[in-house]
């Protein structure tokens, strides 16, 4: 160490105040991501300036700071001591010696030395450009460094000279004592680390400083294991520190092999120090780039720029094959795969399915495995993806809840097996597992059907059972809907019957077939279909066919008959010359939607009496 250099050091490069213990929340965060933080520090140029602008004091100044380790399993009372050290050249010698002495006393003390611009390190050999020091002493009764993979130091500082913003410091830690050696740089770092490690047989640690909240004067100093290995022999991640250290020792015996840096927080490995350093930043929550529009913060400028583009609508990546444009190149590539190249690199191993995105394949695979990770909090339904669960949640309206998901004290038995449920939805879902094509076969005849309800109704034709009794006249029916029709027709004063009206003579019929038969005799080929209680598709089909019929097209009439009835005989009948003209107007009846339609007609001047009068009975 050159005395002339020391003479220009600042009088006190680090002034550390006592800090409060970290709140438990902070500790939990540290434990979660395994990252240590300090706040605030200076740029390399500032640091260098600080290193050279003043002179070291002649004595060592000690101001202790309570520090909290990230790896502590307890939430408080674990303290480290961070000391500022002001040395003269003689003091350096003494301090260094004292450190070694402390080590021998089983005390754990860390010394960080800046030995030139951007370089912090300490070694046992001759002093090199020694300028400034930060000494971190760890009270032996609380820690040994071997127990710490990550340390966290929070320190208020004034005129701090610890490290630059981007500095990544390789630390060599004595296995038995905890002497840390720090160095900044990349290839130079690696060389030094290797040299130090070979010489000291020490485990290597990684030290990183980061800026913290600008409003405070804190810096974040992270120390984590840095396993320098050779690729041909990489230890497993669950090795103990001692094992790692031993492994590292052995690996260092092979010179010239490529090194791999392993992150202790995750599985990341890299052969380059710079990549490793960059990766370590991902284990911090530092997001210094603020969006001025929504105040959201981002880790990198690129992320912020992309985000701002989503605000401004800027889409710099334009597709050459269409007019689509995107914020990121990745979106453009994906778009081109979906729309233009149809490249689907993610292929299912169990079927022919392939997808553009890995997430889609993952979603698809659940259809093979049956996995349903998204559970409804209100019923037994579980979905294979988030959207289906969200869509399902819409069904949890009050009506829906009573119908499907209310708890039933009575046992709801499966139609097909002995399973029992207390929720209708669960029963329905279970019964779906029994589905099959026309699995219901009649024991008495050849009839078969898909739905049990149809078989139940059919069986009554054999047994003669008529379980539906009219309360007004005691007449019995086999089907509920037949009873309903009966009741409306004979006992409901508000019943409005369906009327099919011949457009030629105006006569009304209760059934379209009767009216149709009439229209043949009547000679009306211009009957029009006004409305129907039938479904939407049927109505549309009839209307379409009607248009053809009104043109007098015989084939269209035949087609209608075939389509509407599915009846060969009727189709044959429809092909008769008289069928070239189509049946008359049909008016709706009964209840529900059709009733509403009739009422609309009534409003237009067609009274119920008129409707009844038009009927053929």
Which residues 485-544 are close enough to bind DNA by CB under 7 A?
Answer: 485-486, 489, 498, 510-513, 532-540
Q: Which parts of 95-124 interact with DNA (CB under 7 A)?
A: none
Ramachandran area for residue 313 (φ above 0: left; ψ -120 to 50: alpha; else beta) = left
Q: Kindly state whether residue 350 participates in binding DNA, applying the rule CB under 7 A.
A: no
Kindly give the interhelix angle for 554-565 and 536-550, rounded to the nearest 10 degrees. 160
Question: 249 vs 466, which CB is nearer to DNA?
Answer: 466
Q: CB nearer to DNA: give 250 or 490.
A: 490
Q: Give least dist CB 79 to DNA, A.
A: 30
Distance, in Å, from the CA atom of 528 to the CA atom of 224, rounded to the nearest integer, reads 86
Residue 481 and residue 454 in contact, taking contact as beta carbons nearer than 8 Å? no
Six-digit token string for 196: 């130090």
* Nearest residue (CB) to DNA, 333 versus 608: 333
Classify residue 164 as exposed, middle or buried by CB count within 10 Å of its CB (0-12, 13-18, 19+). Answer: buried
Residues 576-605 contacting DNA, CB under 7 A = 588-594
The minimum distance between CB 99 and DNA, in angstroms, equals 35
CB of 242 or CB of 358, closer to DNA:
358
Query: Quick one: which of 15, 201, 249, 388 contacts DNA (CB under 7 A)?
Result: 388
Q: Which of 383, 503, 519, 581 binds DNA (CB under 7 A)?
A: 383
Over the Cα atoms of the chain, what is R_g? 43
Q: Is residue 307 involved in binding DNA (CB under 7 A)? A: yes
Q: Could you tell me the two tokens for 45?
A: 């140029």
* Of 35, 70, 174, 356, the one binding DNA by CB under 7 A: 356
Pairing of strands 585-587, 325-326: unpaired
Write the DSSP string, 339-354.
Answer: III----EE-SSSS-E
- Is the Cβ of residue 256 or residue 566 nearer to DNA in the bound state? 566
Asked whether 477 and 460 are in contact (CB, 8 A), the reply is: no
Residue 48 CB, shortest distance to DNA, in Å, is 19
Residue from 201, 392, 528, 554 binding DNA (CB under 7 A): 392
Q: With respect to DNA, which residue has the nearer C-beta, 98 or 565?
A: 565
Residue 516 burial (10 A CB sphere; 0-12, 13-18, 19+)? buried
- Residue closer to DNA, measured from CB, 199 or 339: 339
Site for DNA in 398-427 (CB under 7 A): 400
Q: In angstroms, give the least distance from the CB of 161 to DNA.
A: 22
Candidates 240, 235, 261; CA nearest to 250 is 235
Residue 194 near DNA by CB under 7 A: no
Q: To the nearest whole angstrom, how small is the minimum distance from the Cβ of residue 608 to DNA?
A: 17
Q: Give the 3-state secondary structure of 264-289.
A: CCCCCEECCHHHHHHHHHCCCCCCCE
Residues numbered 145-184 forming contacts with DNA, rule: CB under 7 A: none
The least distance separating DNA from the CB of residue 22, rounded to whole angstroms, comes to 23
- The answer to whether 591 and 488 have CB atoms below 8 angstroms apart is yes
Q: Give, for 21, the enclosing helix (H) or strand (E).
A: none
Give the interface segment with DNA, choosing from 60-68, 169-177, 206-214, 470-478 (CB under 7 A). 470-478
450 is a contact residue toward DNA (CB under 7 A): yes
CB of 564 to DNA, least distance (A): 6
Q: How far is the CB of 300 from DNA (least distance, A)?
A: 6
Give the integer Cα–Cα distance in Å for 396 and 379: 9
Total interface residues for DNA by CB under 7 A: 110
Identify which of residues 61 and 401 has a Cβ nearer to DNA in the complex: 401
Residues from 551 through 570 that contact DNA (CB under 7 A): 564-567, 569-570
| Phi and psi, residue 102, nearest 5° | -65, -40
Supply the minimum distance, in Å, between the C-beta of residue 162 and DNA.
20
Q: Which is nearer to DNA, 385 or 492 (CB)?
A: 385
At residue 537, φ and ψ (nearest 5 deg) are: -65, -40
Instruction: CB nearer to DNA: give 195 or 278.
Output: 278
Interaction residues for DNA, span 58-77 (CB under 7 A)? none
Contacts 24+ apart (CB under 8 A), 89-96: 89/1, 89/3, 89/6, 89/127, 89/130, 91/56, 91/58, 91/59, 91/60, 92/1, 92/6, 92/127, 92/130, 92/133, 93/127, 95/60, 95/133, 95/135, 96/122
Contact letters for DNA, residues 203-232 (x by CB under 7 A): ------------------------------
Contact 152, 37 (CB under 8 A): yes
Of 92-100, 174-182, 357-365, 549-557, the segment contacting DNA by CB under 7 A is 357-365
Among 98, 144, 186, 306, binds DNA (CB under 7 A): 306
What part of residues 268-297 is at the interface with DNA (CB under 7 A)?
268, 270, 272, 275, 278-279, 282, 296
- Give me the sheet containing 259-262, strands edge to edge: 227-230, 259-262, 269-270
* Closer by beta carbon to DNA, 66 or else 286: 286
Binding part of the chain for DNA, among 14-22, 48-56, 197-205, 395-403 by CB under 7 A, reads: 395-403
Are the C-beta atoms of residues 449 and 458 closer than 8 Å to each other? yes
**Considering the complex, what minimum distance in angstroms separates the CB of residue 172 from DNA?**
24
In contact, 476 and 470? CB cutoff 8 Å: yes
Q: Which of residues 320-339 bind DNA (CB under 7 A)?
A: 324, 326-331, 333-335, 338-339
Residue numbers 77-96 binding DNA by CB under 7 A? none
Burial of 311 from C-beta contacts in 10 A (0-12 / 13-18 / 19+): exposed
Cβ-contact 227, 244 below 8 angstroms? yes
Q: Which is nearer to DNA, 246 or 279 (CB)?
A: 279
**Is there binding between residue 461 and DNA (CB under 7 A)?**
yes
C-beta of residue 184 within 8 angstroms of C-beta of residue 120 = yes
Q: How far apart are CA 302 and CA 339, in angstroms?
A: 27
> Can you list the alpha helix ranges (DSSP code H) found in 433-578?
452-463, 480-491, 512-522, 536-550, 554-565, 568-574
Taking CB under 7 A as the criterion, the residue among 98, 159, 234, 395 binding DNA is 395
Residues of span 232-271 touching DNA by CB under 7 A: 266, 268, 270
In 3-state terms, what secondary structure has residue 126?
coil
Which CB, 253 or 292, lies closer to DNA?
292
For residue 400 the two structure tokens come to 């829906």
Q: Please say which residue, 244 or 597, places its beta carbon nearer to DNA.
A: 597
In the complex, least distance from residue 11 CB atom to DNA, rounded to whole angstroms: 32
Q: How far is the CB of 488 from DNA (least distance, A)?
A: 9
């Amino acid at each position: 160490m050159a005395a002339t250099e020391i003479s220009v050091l600042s009088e006190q490069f680090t002034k550390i105040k006592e800090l409060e213990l970290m709140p438990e929340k902070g500790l939990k965060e540290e434990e979660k991501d395994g990252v240590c933080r300090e706040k605030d520090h200076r740029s390399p140029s500032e640091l260098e300036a600080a290193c050279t602008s003043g002179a070291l004091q002649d004595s060592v100044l000690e101001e202790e700071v309570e520090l909290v380790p990230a790896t502590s399993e307890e939430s408080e009372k674990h303290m480290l001591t961070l000391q500022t050290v002001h040395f003269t050249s003689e003091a350096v010698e003494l301090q260094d010696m004292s450190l070694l002495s402390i080590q021998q006393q089983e005390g754990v003390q860390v010394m960080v030395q800046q030995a030139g611009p951007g370089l912090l390190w300490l070694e046992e050999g001759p002093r090199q450009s020694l300028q400034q020091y930060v000494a971190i002493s760890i009270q032996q009764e609380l820690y040994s460094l071997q127990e710490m993979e990550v340390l966290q130091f929070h320190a208020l500082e004034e005129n701090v000279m610890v490290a630059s913003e981007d500095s990544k410091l390789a630390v060599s830690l004595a296995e038995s004592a905890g002497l840390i050696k720090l160095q900044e740089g990349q290839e130079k770092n690696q060389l030094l680390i290797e040299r130090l490690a070979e010489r000291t047989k020490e485990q290597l640690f990684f030290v990183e400083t980061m800026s913290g909240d600008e409003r405070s004067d804190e810096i974040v100093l992270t120390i984590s294991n840095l396993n320098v290995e050779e690729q041909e022999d990489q230890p497993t991640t669950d090795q103990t520190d001692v094992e790692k250290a031993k492994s590292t020792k052995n690996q260092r015996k092979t010179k010239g092999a490529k090194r791999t840096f392993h992150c202790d927080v995750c599985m990341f490995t890299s052969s380059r120090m710079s990549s490793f350093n960059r990766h370590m930043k991902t284990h911090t929550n530092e997001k210094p780039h603020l969006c001025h529009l929504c105040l959201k913060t981002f880790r990198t400028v690129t992320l912020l720029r992309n985000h701002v583009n989503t605000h401004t609508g800027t889409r710099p990546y334009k597709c050459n094959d269409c007019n689509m444009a995107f914020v990121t190149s990745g979106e453009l590539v994906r778009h081109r795969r979906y729309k233009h190249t149809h490249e689907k690199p993610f292929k299912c191993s169990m079927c022919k399915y392939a997808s553009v995105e890995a997430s889609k394949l993952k979603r698809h695979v659940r259809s093979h495995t049956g996995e349903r990770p998204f559970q409804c909090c209100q019923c037994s339904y579980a979905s294979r993806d988030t959207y289906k669960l969200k869509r399902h949640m819409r069904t949890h309206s009050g009506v829906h809840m009573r119908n499907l998901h209310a708890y039933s004290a009575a046992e709801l038995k499966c139609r097909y097996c002995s399973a029992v449920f207390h929720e209708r939805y669960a029963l329905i879902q279970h019964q779906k597992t029994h589905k099959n094509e026309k699995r219901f076969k009649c024991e008495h005849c050849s009839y078969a059907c898909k739905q049990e309800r149809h078989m139940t109704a059919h069986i009554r034709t054999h047994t003669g059972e008529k379980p539906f009794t009219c309360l007004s006249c005691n007449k019995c029916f086999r089907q509920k809907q037949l009873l309903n029709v009966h009741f409306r027709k004979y006992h409901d004063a508000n019943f409005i019957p369906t009327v099919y009206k011949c457009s030629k003579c105006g006569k009304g019929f209760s059934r379209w077939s009767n009216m149709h038969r009439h229209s043949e005799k009547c000679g009306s080929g211009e009957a029009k279909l006004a409305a129907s209680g039938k479904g939407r598709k049927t109505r549309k089909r009839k209307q379409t066919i009607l248009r053809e019929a009104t043109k007098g097209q015989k084939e269209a009439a035949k087609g209608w008959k075939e389509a509407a009835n599915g009846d060969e005989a009727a189709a044959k009948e429809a092909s008769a010359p008289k069928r070239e003209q189509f049946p008359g107007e049909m008016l709706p009846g009964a209840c529900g939607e059709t009733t509403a339609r009739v009422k609309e007609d009534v409003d237009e001047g067609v009274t119920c009496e008129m409707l009844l009068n038009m009927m053929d009975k």
